[in-house]
């Protein structure tokens, strides 16, 4: 059952480590299974994993790149996790992310021109990021409202909204928002103004304050979900909408709010990629975040801190995969296989407990209640 009050019982160190034991063993088992696959196709699994570790944690630059990769994963993973907590399946993080990015790019490059003034960074950055968030929130609130007030299922609607977002983005980046530089051949926006750029933390590394913001947002989401009335309402609606209704919670409003928060987080992922890393939005830069974010939310068992750890793991694997391929020529597709296996073993922890003969009573996370409710 879901741990409604969210208290972490700190009785013994063992109790604290227990929730981590199965995921860690799952990761280990998936890596071993991946290693066997690598060996079967004639690669050296130790060289491959050494490359993976080196590429993700082996140097300051590697650590920095891992953080860069993890940042959008944290935001998008949190987005999906919050929706799960509210009993909703947000399969549309990809579209919300794209909308957040487009909006952030627009505010980033065009706002000073519209206002005919140079904005100071302390106004321009929050405005850019905030409106990016808002765009994502609106984009997700629409399927939320449709779910609440017409019963239209959010899974179809968020999938549809993904395709709509992709088309609108393609239209904008090929038309009105296209970089007018005559030498530009890509479907991309102009670069955002210097005043809209989130700085990096260290001079020569790409890791930026957006990563710190991501960690901060994870704490805020935890606080929101477990320490506020709104969070209680979201979790109650997620656990049992009928009970929530009898308890006097406005279920419809809560569904819309949950989706808006979820979309805001996904929009934030896009806005941060634009303001802190790419300085523009370009078609195709958010390939696959929507899908990976579902896996991250699941791996983190929809707990904000679990999501952060899962996002860093996924970020490290995606980042280190390059070095692994460079050193051993093993196709990066193996990373997807290992990620799938990790998810498999975490999900079916009975397999892990069977292999390692662990007897731990673990809470089972109930994410969705099917399509009906």
Partner 1 sequence: MDWRRFAIIALVIVIMFGTVVVVGISQNSPLVIITSMLATTIAVATPLTLGALSGIYCERSGVVNIGIEGMMLGAAFFGWLASIYMNTVFHQVPMLSLLTGVFVAVLTGGLFALLHAVLSITFKVDQIIGGTVINILATGITGFLNRQMFFGSGSVFGGTVPHSPGVLPSIHIPLLADIPVFGRIFQQQPITLSALALVVITHFVLFHTRWGLRTRAVGEHPRAADTVGINVIRMRYLNVIIGGFMAGLGGAYFTLESISSFEPMMTNGRGFIALAAMIFGNWTPFGAWAAALVFGAAQALQINLQFFRELIPPSLAILQNSYVVGLAPYILTMLILTGLIGKTIAPAADGKPYEK
Partner 2 sequence: MKKLYLVIAVLVMAAMLVPACTPTAPDCTKPEVFCVGLVTDVGKVDDKSFNQTAWEGVQQAKTDGVANWVQYIETTDAKDYDKNIATFADAGYDEIVTVGFNLTESTYTAAKKYTSIMFVGIDQFLSADATHPEWPLANLVSISYNEDQSGFLVGALASMMSASHKIGAVCGTDAVPPVWRYGEGYRAGAAYEDAKNGTTTEVSVVYHSDVGFDKTFTDPTWGADTANSMIDKGADAIFGCGGKTGNGAVDAAAQRSVYAIGVDTDQYFTLPEADAWLLTSAMKPETAPVAAVIKLTKDGTFPTGGIYMGPSGYAPYHDQASKVSATIDTEMKAILAGLLDGSIKTNVPPVKPAQ
> Which of partner 2, partner 1, none is residue 186 near (CB under 5 to 8 Å by kind)?
partner 2
For residue 95, give the H/E element and its range.
Answer: helix 93-115
Q: How far is the CB of 306 from partner 1 (least distance, A)?
A: 14
Q: Which partner, partner 1, partner 2, none, binds residue 295 by CB below 5 to 8 Å per kind? A: partner 1
**27 touches partner 1 (CB under 8 A):** no
Q: Is 333 in the site for partner 1 (CB under 8 A)?
A: yes
* Structure-token pair, residue 64: 């920095």
CB within 8 A of 370, min separation 6: which ones? none
Identify which of 47, 79, 104 has the alpha carbon closest to the alpha carbon of residue 302.
79
For residues 133 and 268, what is the distance between their CA atoms, to the nearest angstrom? 5
Asked if 3 interacts with partner 1 (CB under 8 A), we say no
x/- binding map, residues 216-255, to partner 1, per CB under 8 A?
----------------------------------------
Figure out which of the listed residues 126, 199, 284, 340 binds partner 1, where binding follows CB under 8 A.
Answer: 340
Cα(106)–Cα(245) distance, integer angstroms: 41
Structure tokens at 354: 């069977």
Q: Per-residue contact track with partner 1, 296 to 325, x per CB under 8 A?
A: --x---------------------------
Name the nearest CA neighbour of 262 among 167, 343, 146, 158.
158
Query: Closest CB to partner 2 among 20 and 39?
Result: 39
In which residue are the tokens 């904000």 written?
304
* Nearer to partner 1 among residue 219 and residue 332 (C-beta): 332
> Cα–Cα distances in Å, from 231 out to 21, 57, 109, 239?
28, 35, 36, 12
78 and 266 Cβ atoms separated by less than 8 Å: no
The pair phi, psi for residue 190, each rounded to 5°, is: -65, 165
Please, what's the largest Cα pairwise distance for the chain?
68
Q: Is 153 in the site for partner 1 (CB under 8 A)?
A: yes
Residues lying near partner 2 in the complex (CB under 8 A) are found at: 28-29, 32, 35-36, 39-40, 42-47, 65, 68, 163, 166-167, 170, 173-175, 178, 181, 183, 185-187, 273, 277-278, 282-285, 287-288, 318, 321-323, 325-329, 331-332, 355-358
Q: Which one, 173 or 196, has the nearer CB to partner 2? A: 173
115 binds, among partner 2, partner 1, none (CB under 5 to 8 A by kind): none
Least distance in angstroms from the C-beta of 7 to partner 2: 29
């Amino acid at each position: 059952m879901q741990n409604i009050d969210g208290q972490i019982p700190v009785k013994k160190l063992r109790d604290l480590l227990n929730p981590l034991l199965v995921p860690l063993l799952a990761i280990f088992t998936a890596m071993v299974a991946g290693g066997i696959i690598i060996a079967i196709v004639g690669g050296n699994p130790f060289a491959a994993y050494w490359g993976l570790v080196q590429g993700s944690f082996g140097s300051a630059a590697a650590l920095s790149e891992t953080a860069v990769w993890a940042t959008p994963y944290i935001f998008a993973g949190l987005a999906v996790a919050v929706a799960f907590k509210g009993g909703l399946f947000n399969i549309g993080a990809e579209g919300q992310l794209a909308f957040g990015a487009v909006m952030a790019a627009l505010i980033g490059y065009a706002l000073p021109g519209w206002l005919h003034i140079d904005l100071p960074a302390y106004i321009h950055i929050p405005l850019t990021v905030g409106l990016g968030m808002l765009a994502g929130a609106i984009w997700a609130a629409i399927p939320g409202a449709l779910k609440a007030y017409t019963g239209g299922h959010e899974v179809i609607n968020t999938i549809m909204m993904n395709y709509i977002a992709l088309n609108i983005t393609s239209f904008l980046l090929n038309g009105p928002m296209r970089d007018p530089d005559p030498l530009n051949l890509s479907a991309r926006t102009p670069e955002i103004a210097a005043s809209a750029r989130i700085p990096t933390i260290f001079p020569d590394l790409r890791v930026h304050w957006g990563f710190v913001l991501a960690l901060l947002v994870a704490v805020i989401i935890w606080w929101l979900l477990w320490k506020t009335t709104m969070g209680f309402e979201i979790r109650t609606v997620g656990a049992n909408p009928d009970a929530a209704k009898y308890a006097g919670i406005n279920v419809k409003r809560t569904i819309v709010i949950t989706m808006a928060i979820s979309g805001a987080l996904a929009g934030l992922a896009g806005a941060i990629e634009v303001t802190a890393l790419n300085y523009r939005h370009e078609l195709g830069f958010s390939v696959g975040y929507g899908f990976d974010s579902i896996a991250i939310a699941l791996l983190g068992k929809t707990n904000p801190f679990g999501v952060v750890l899962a996002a860093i793991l996924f970020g490290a694997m995606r980042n280190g995969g390059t070095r692994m391929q460079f050193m051993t020529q093993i196709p990066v597709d193996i990373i997807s296989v290992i990620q799938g296996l990790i998810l498999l073993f975490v999900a079916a922890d009975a397999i892990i407990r069977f292999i390692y003969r662990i007897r731990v009573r673990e809470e089972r996370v109930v994410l969705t209640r099917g399509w009906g409710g």
